[in-house]
Amino acid sequence: MAIPKPARSISPLARYENIHEHDASLVGDGLHVGIVMSRFNQDIGEGLLSACTTELKRLGVAENSITLASVPGALEIPLALQTMAGSGRFDALIALGAVIRGETYHFEVVANDSCRALMEVQLRSGVPIANGILTCEDDDQALVRMHQKGSDCAQVAVEMTNLLHAIRENS
């Protein structure tokens, strides 16, 4: 089945006549994307991954330009992302996983620290990271959200890569 190509860019109405505005571009041709997925709550992770890779391919990212690393849990995702970012091989990175609330404070620790660490890696490396680590009250919430979130992460990764390239070219 052929995957339809996305529109070249998403053009909002011009806000100002004399101010340059970068258009959002969802063209993934030629991009290399790294994905780190947590194996904890694996069924949800696999759902996120399926939606994410399907959308990356639809946006034009070649299947052989997608690299997947799996890690035990959400707290291990940032270190793998940091290593991938430092390799210089990836235009964008994606974090996938699910943290489901339990009966202890551990949920808050994992949810907050994994998110904080993703932001640190992104800001230090300059490589965009799409955060697809779901933080949900229960499995049902995660199951409902996983496909849309996986797809959204693919779009964010491609759009942010294109935006950063455009900003660098015009600087």
Concerning whether 106 is annotated as a catalytic residue, the answer is yes
Active-site annotation holder among 20, 32, 106, 165: 106
Q: Determine if residue 77 is left, alpha or beta; phi over 0 gives left, psi from -120 to 50 gives alpha, anything else beta.
A: alpha
Rounded to whole angstroms, how far apart are CA atoms 19 and 63?
Answer: 37
Rounded to whole angstroms, how far apart are CA atoms 162 and 149?
Answer: 20
The alpha carbon dihedral of 42, 43, 48, 51 has a sign of: positive
Active-site residues, by number, are 106
